Chains A and B, each alone.
Chain A
Amino acid sequence: MRRLVLLRILVPLLAVLHFLLHMGMGMGRGAPDLLTLSLLLAARELRMGAGAGLGFFFGLMEDSFSALPFGVFTLSLTVVGALGARTRDLFVGDSLRFLFSYLAAGKLLLEAGAWLIAGEMARGPFVQAVLVEGSLAALYGALVGVLLILPLGGRDVLR
């Protein structure tokens, strides 16, 4: 119950905060990708269809202000949302270590997907864009996710 309430508040809050930091305050890469974080946290609570749907709408919002070809984030986040929801059937995931790995893997998957779909014209080299910058962004996002969950009760929230 506590978990549900916390995530229902946390998820929309993170999405709003994401756009406020990235778009409103123009912080760019300095701010973590809270939208993906929000989707990944929500996906653990949602069924596969709902996860994909949430990813689709988050992706549309991200795409509408992206310099990458339109639809890159819509497709990537839809896949991430669907797969995130699917992990519930595969992992119990009540540890912070799992949460960290799950968030980092989800963000890295998004970066790789976006790189793949963006096409030759709009993307940088794979090693730099995904392996270096993507990995750093994934670790950063995962760390922020864990730090957000800790004050809310840590493992109790995930149980």
Chain B
Amino acid sequence: MGSYTDSQEEGRGRRDLAVAAFFLVLAIVVVYLPPRLQDHVAAGVRASALKPFLMTQEALARARLRAEDALVLQAQLDSLASLVVSQATLAEENRKLHGLLQLQERAPGTFLAANAIRPGTAGSESMFILDVGSRHGVGAGNPVLMRNGRIGLVGLIRGVRGSTAVGIDWSHPDFRASAMTADGTVFGMVEPRRGEFREADRLLLNGIPFYEYLDSATLIVTSGLGGVFPRGIPIGEVVSMAEEERSWRRAYWLRPVVATGSITHVLVVTDDGAAEMMADLFDGEDPQIPDSLPPTPPQRRDPGPDDEREPPGALDRPGGSRS
């Protein structure tokens, strides 16, 4: 019986099918490659085919930064200068108090500036990519902050590659942060709640004891409990009460300090010294706070070598200083 198609066309059809099957199998292999190999492939593509586009983006980001209003920057610089001048003596006092309480100094270079890019693909709306990675000291779990009027919590780093890092913002279903009021009196847990649209995503402060009542506009910050986020990072402001369980607990809606849509330039907290410090304090290890602090001289007339010396006995701590 004769065939409806010629044998040459049939052969091409079979070859086509085989080639398609080959690429399909190759694609499945790519999905299940070890992460390290996947990183190599991705890095190779980024360094070759996508390099011109990345360079374009960097150039545009630089141009955007240069276009910032010089007057606004000048005003911010003036404010900072006045702040530094007015608080010059605080640095010295702060250092002494840190020594007395055996707390480590905040490490300089803790914050790393980075550009955030949204992938814009399905299912990745709560994620962002940063142009800094493990080479710059970024690690998984590092908090990400942004200044939006005031500095606020954006989210945290989830995965790190050599020169890039992938993070989740507060609207991601996995985001949780132990939180408290700015005065440290009420503690709870902040979690995201999906709105009908992504722009309507909100934060919920949950687990507040029933007898505690929070006024609107109360600032909520990270509590440092659990060691994920350092203490004191602003998360949002109380808007209204969301729900209450009779005689048990309340939950409040929060207005986030940082809107996810505005995330462009961020700060990554690369040093987890603050988190470690908090973990130590809540670990039950006695920080050996002295009963009384030695009096500080009311006025420093002649700053000499004596001023740098610690008061006798105040630093008499076992194991030396923690750094």
Which residues of A are at the interface with B, using a C-beta cutoff of 8 A?
Answer: 19-20, 22-29, 31, 47-53, 55-56, 59-75, 78-79, 82, 85, 111, 114-115, 117-118, 121-125, 128-130, 133-134, 137
In the complex with contacts A23-B57, A26-B57, A67-B129, A74-B30 CB distance below 8 A:
yes
Chain A residues near B26 (CB-CB < 8 A): 56, 78
Q: How far is the CB of B97 from chain A (nearest CB, A)?
A: 42
**23 pairs of residues in contact across A and B, judged by CB atoms under 8 Å:** A20-B56, A23-B56, A24-B54, A24-B56, A26-B117, A48-B17, A52-B23, A56-B26, A60-B41, A65-B46, A66-B124, A67-B124, A67-B129, A68-B124, A70-B31, A70-B33, A70-B41, A75-B24, A78-B23, A114-B122, A117-B31, A123-B122, A129-B123
Q: How far is the CB of B58 from chain A (nearest CB, A)?
A: 9
Confirm or deny: B77 has a beta carbon within 8 angstroms of a beta carbon on chain A: no
Confirm or deny: B281 has a beta carbon within 8 angstroms of a beta carbon on chain A: no
B121 touches A71 (CB 8 A): no
Q: Who on chain B is nearest to A78 by CB?
A: B27
Confirm or deny: B211 has a beta carbon within 8 angstroms of a beta carbon on chain A: no
A74 touches B27 (CB 8 A): yes
In the complex with contacts A48-B16, A49-B17, A122-B127, A66-B119 CB distance below 8 A:
yes
B27 touches A22 (CB 8 A): no
B118 touches A70 (CB 8 A): no
In the complex with contacts A47-B16, A48-B17, A71-B31 CB distance below 8 A:
yes
- The 4 A-B pairs of least Cβ separation, nearest first, read A49-B19, A28-B120, A71-B31, A24-B56
Contact of A70 among B23, B38, B49 (CB under 8 A): B38
Contact of A52 among B20, B56, B121 (CB under 8 A): B20
B23 touches A49 (CB 8 A): yes
Against A, the Cβ 8 Å flags (1 = close, 0 = not) of B7-24 are 000001001111110111
Confirm or deny: B128 has a beta carbon within 8 angstroms of a beta carbon on chain A: yes
Q: Who on chain B is nearest to A134 by CB?
A: B122
A23 touches B23 (CB 8 A): no
A71 touches B38 (CB 8 A): yes
In the complex with contacts A20-B53, A26-B57, A64-B45, A52-B24 CB distance below 8 A:
yes
B: interface residue count bin: 35 or more
A49 touches B15 (CB 8 A): yes
Chain B interface SS verdict (over half): helix
B45 touches A82 (CB 8 A): no
Contact of A73 among B16, B20, B46, B121 (CB under 8 A): B121
Give CA–CA (A51, B27) in the complex, Å.
13
Q: Who on chain A is nearest to B196 by CB?
A: A128
Which residues of B are at the interface with A, using a C-beta cutoff of 8 A?
Answer: 12, 15-20, 22-24, 26-28, 30-33, 35, 38, 41-43, 45-46, 49-50, 52-54, 56-57, 60, 117-129, 166, 174, 194
Q: Who on chain B is nearest to A53 by CB?
A: B23
In the complex with contacts A52-B24, A75-B30, A121-B174 CB distance below 8 A:
yes
Q: Who on chain A is nearest to B59 by CB?
A: A24
B53 touches A19 (CB 8 A): yes
In the complex with contacts A71-B30, A117-B31, A22-B120 CB distance below 8 A:
yes
Q: How far is the CB of A10 from chain B (nearest CB, A)?
A: 19
20 extra A-B contacts, CB within 8 A, seeds A23-B54, A49-B22, A71-B30: A48-B20, A52-B24, A61-B49, A61-B50, A65-B46, A66-B121, A70-B35, A70-B38, A71-B38, A74-B27, A74-B31, A79-B27, A111-B122, A114-B123, A118-B123, A122-B123, A123-B122, A123-B123, A124-B125, A129-B122
Chain A residues near B118 (CB-CB < 8 A): 26, 28
B30 touches A60 (CB 8 A): yes
Give CA–CA (A59, B127) in the complex, Å.
19
B119 touches A65 (CB 8 A): yes
B20 touches A82 (CB 8 A): yes
Q: How far is the CB of B55 from chain A (nearest CB, A)?
A: 8
Q: How far is the CB of A50 from chain B (nearest CB, A)?
A: 7
Chain A residues near B12 (CB-CB < 8 A): 47
Give CA–CA (A62, B30) in the complex, Å.
13
A64 touches B121 (CB 8 A): no
B33 touches A71 (CB 8 A): yes
A68 touches B20 (CB 8 A): no
